[in-house]
Structure 1
């Protein structure tokens, strides 16, 4: 058995040594890779400064400084591993793990900082091609300006000035942006020739954005015509639907119908919206007309739906509500009488339900008369009655459990159990009385 355990221990030590050797190799390789990466990135930084300028490359420069500081710690740890002072296996393991951690962190920092500049550097190196593309795009978009102006003029005879306001100035704005894009491209060239890369790149980005915006504005003219035609088609459908809704709503406007006044007002609003629509051949704003008509149509739909729901569930009469209120009052009175007459028996449950019933009862009065709250008053009154009934049931259980033969009362001697003891016979009568006196604080005066 001893030989077995000895062999097992030697195998474990060999496995641990193999892991330590692998960690040491990883630490050495990571140190070399990180140091080489710092040297390579330092060269890249010089090129980036030449391409982008000093301020743009500040994050990369700061990242390099931090990495050099931490890599110095890694080299120091590696030196400790190879000095003349003997080290334990745990010390070597800890240092090598720290070296790997520092080197991986250095690689991550440099990856992040160089990646952030990669796009800018590519843009700067491709500046001549980009500027050539900007000038070609400007000429292509300029060729579209006459058609855009013609489209706006043609649409002005079909749509109102308010509708065309969103695109009427688009051709002029696009032309200004195209002029600005050419000017910015020329500035970028001159700044790069003057070895001012930051300003050159900023001007190049500005020119690119100006061309993009000009293209979007030009497309907006064509998009407006398409969307306006679509809105007109939808408007015709909504007009037909609105007229059908008005006919369907007429029965709900009759006297005595639920929410008749509200439905009548919604019908009038929708009829006014229909009447306000411009006639055929009149310049219009289909977007505004459609939004107005949809809003009025939705208002009528909501009013009719409310009336339908009320018709399916009629509003309770005021007599019905008052009957429920009277029943609630009676239930409260009964529960209160029982609890007041047997206070010594009554526990927290019965008292709590009675208190809640009384609290809700105070809210019912304000809800009885207005029609829009009458249903709520009926529901609340029924809840009051339910709570009062629960209070009465709980009180009765407390009383039954406290009488002779119940849980708290015995049947022997001076009234029996722990409540009646010492009060003389008839504990079932004196119990609640004495309990009430205890609650009232008079026990000391009577039994002095």
Structure 2
């Protein structure tokens, strides 16, 4: 008994200690959150001065929300210290809520101030950034003559279509550099006038314009290198394409392979003569596409050669077998509808769906199709066998349902044992057995032709 009371006393002491720690944490969190609001309010003043009201709206809204919720935290703390006695549970709940509100406030302000920190640092470095924009623009202007010369040199070698992506780059880059220099001057004047928001917008426009101008100038030099590389690669692909055609002519032929060979030959014949301005990128893409088509056609032909095509007669046997199985299953289920359960009906419905999918795949009735393309024979046979299998299952399930539903007393059928007094002791199962046996024999005979 003493041990029990000792254990309970220890639990109470531990809970009291935890409550005391929670109370101290709530007070500390409340002080830190209040100080954070005051510090962030000062930062907002500097941010507005640097970035303007629009750019700092999110931080201002966050401060308003934090102030509102912190009033709840102060109110809860006040309730903890008023003259009305509180239970330990009430104190624990309030302190936990205070800690929660203060942590939320700190996280929200961290997120909003973090989002503005880079923009504020950038705004404070505005004079340095303006100077760098002007220096970068001046450096890029020295590259413009070389870019123009490069375009003229490329125009003597490549077609207008090939040069369409870089022909106007030098002119566009020059316009962007002029806009960047003008925007830098606007940013400087607006900043001196105290309009920091417009100054920052103009500075961003100047920085982006310099970046785009540099990209355009670099693209001219990159195009020249890539065009030379494409020409070199084109020569190698032309040689490979001719070898591929020679190999393909020795491969097992199919209509797809013949078409692919013709496409590759046409792509080779369309290559311009020496001395004509060309588009090596377009020619390279055309040859690659024709080569890929030939590779795919050869691979398909090899796969087909490794897997013999089923004879049309075998495919027709499979279709006929499926139709015969379906017809018998339909008749049995229709003739004993009151006895047939869901399983047999479901198998029959699925078999009919597979059979209908087969007709849709061929675009005509499979049972009356004059011919079936070689590529369609294997999937056609698979669908037909699937339909026959499902129909066979439906017939077996129907037989099970009929056997289970038929009265066990032979005399109840009238006329003595068996059906109609004919002395059949199997209650008609011999009829179904004959049907199933006929189907099995038919399947075996068909299998002899596969």
TM (norm. structure 1) is: 0.83
State which drifts further: 225-234 or 387-396. Answer: 387-396
Write the distance in 2 (CA, Å) between the matches of 1:286 and 1:191: 50
Write the distance in 1 (CA, Å) between the matches of 2:330 and 2:20: 87
Write the distance in 2 (CA, Å) between the matches of 1:368 and 1:310: 23
Q: Name the counterpart of 1:380.
A: 383
Q: Deviations over 1:95-130 (max 9, x none)?
A: 111111111111112111211211111111111111
Tell me the CA shift for residue 287 of structure 1: 0.6
Q: Name the counterpart of 1:365.
A: 367
Tell me the CA shift for residue 258 of structure 1: 5.4
State which drifts further: 198-207 or 82-91. Answer: 82-91
The change in CA–CA distance for 1:93 and 1:156 in structure 2 (over 3 A counts) is: same
Q: Is the 8 A contact 2:312 2:372 kept in 1?
A: no
Q: Name the counterpart of 1:100.
A: 99
Tell me the CA shift for residue 351 of structure 1: 6.2
Q: Is the 8 A contact 1:318 1:368 kept in 2?
A: no
Write the distance in 2 (CA, Å) between the matches of 1:110 and 1:395: 72
Q: Is the 8 A contact 1:155 1:225 kept in 2?
A: yes
Residues 215-364 of structure 1 aligned to structure 2 (within 5 Å): 215-251=214-250, 259-260=254-255, 262-328=256-322, 353=347, 363=359, 364=366
RMSD of the TM alignment (CA)? Answer: 3.1
The change in CA–CA distance for 1:343 and 1:121 in structure 2 (over 3 A counts) is: closer
State which drifts further: 388-397 or 62-71. Answer: 388-397
Q: Deviations over 1:150-194 (max 9, x none)?
A: 221222222111111111111111111111111000000100111
Q: Name the counterpart of 1:26.
A: 25
Write the distance in 2 (CA, Å) between the matches of 1:396 and 1:158: 82
Q: Deviations over 1:395-434 (max 9, x none)?
A: 66677x57xxxx9775xxx63xxxx54745214556559x
Unaligned runs of 5+ in 1: 434-448
Write the distance in 1 (CA, Å) between the matches of 2:346 and 2:89: 69
State which drifts further: 316-325 or 141-150. Answer: 316-325
The change in CA–CA distance for 1:198 and 1:343 in structure 2 (over 3 A counts) is: closer
Q: Is the 8 A contact 2:322 2:385 kept in 1?
A: yes
State which drifts further: 381-390 or 218-227. Answer: 381-390
Write the distance in 1 (CA, Å) between the matches of 2:165 and 2:32: 59
Tell me the CA shift for residue 62 of structure 1: 1.5
Unaligned runs of 5+ in 2: 360-365, 422-426, 430-450
State which drifts further: 121-130 or 232-241. Answer: 232-241
Write the distance in 2 (CA, Å) between the matches of 1:146 and 1:306: 54
Q: Name the counterpart of 1:169.
A: 168
